[in-house]
Amino acid sequence: MDIRFATINDIDAVTELERQCFPPEEAAEKDSFEKRLTVFPNHFWLLEDSGKLASMINGMTTDIPILRDEMFEDATMHREEGQWQMIFGVATLPEYQKMGCASKLMERVIADVKEQERKGIVLTCKESLIPFYERFGFVNEGKSMSKHGGAVWYDMRWYLKNCREKELFNMKKHRLPYMVAGAVLFAALFTGCTNERLEDELDFRKIGINSMQSGDYEGAVAAFNSALSQCVGKITDTELDICYYKAAAQYAGGDIEGALATYQAMIDYDEENGNAYYLHGCLSLKQQDTDTAKKDFANAVKYNPDDYDCMLGFMRTLPVII
For 84, phi and psi rounded to 5 degrees? -120, 130
Where does residue 289 fall: left (phi above 0), alpha (psi -120 to 50 degrees), or beta otherwise? beta
Q: What is the pLDDT of residue 221?
A: 87
| 305 and 189 in a common domain | yes
Q: What is the pLDDT of residue 234?
A: 62
| 184 and 295 in a common domain | yes
Measure the CA–CA gap between 220 and 207, rounded to whole angstroms: 7
Q: What is the pLDDT of residues 261-317, one digit of tens each?
A: 999 988 988 888 888 999 999 899 888 888 898 899 889 888 887 766 666 656 655
How many domains would you assign to the chain?
A: 2
Q: What is the pLDDT of residues 37-59, one digit of tens each?
A: 999 999 999 999 999 999 999 99
Q: What is the pLDDT of residue 176?
A: 37
Q: What is the pLDDT of residues 196-231, one digit of tens each?
A: 323 457 777 888 888 888 788 888 888 888 788 766
**Mean pLDDT (whole number) for 79-107:** 93
**The domain that contains 295 carries what CATH number?**
1.25.40.10
| 172 and 154 in a common domain | no
| 98 and 204 in a common domain | no
**Mean pLDDT (whole number) for 66-85:** 90
**Mean pLDDT (whole number) for 65-89:** 90
Q: What is the pLDDT of residue 40?
A: 96
| 48 and 105 in a common domain | yes
Q: Which residue segment(s) compose the domain that 221 sits in? A: 166-321
Confidence band (pLDDT; 50, 70, 90) for 103? very high
Asked if 303 and 274 touch (Cβ cutoff 8 Å), the reply is: yes
Measure the CA–CA gap between 283 and 205, rounded to whole angstroms: 24
User: Does the structure show a pLDDT above 90 at 129?
Assistant: yes
| 49 and 109 in a common domain | yes
Q: What is the pLDDT of residue 316?
A: 58
| 305 and 193 in a common domain | yes
| 288 and 139 in a common domain | no
User: Does the structure show a pLDDT above 70 at 66?
Assistant: yes
Of 116, 65, 45, give the one whose Cα is nearest residue 242: 65
Q: What is the pLDDT of residue 215?
A: 83
Among 92-106, 135-149, 155-169, the least confident range: 155-169
Measure the CA–CA gap between 270 and 80, rounded to whole angstroms: 21
**The domain that contains 112 carries what CATH number?**
3.40.630.30
HEC readout, 128-143: HHHHHHHCCCCEEEEE
Q: What is the pLDDT of residue 312?
A: 62
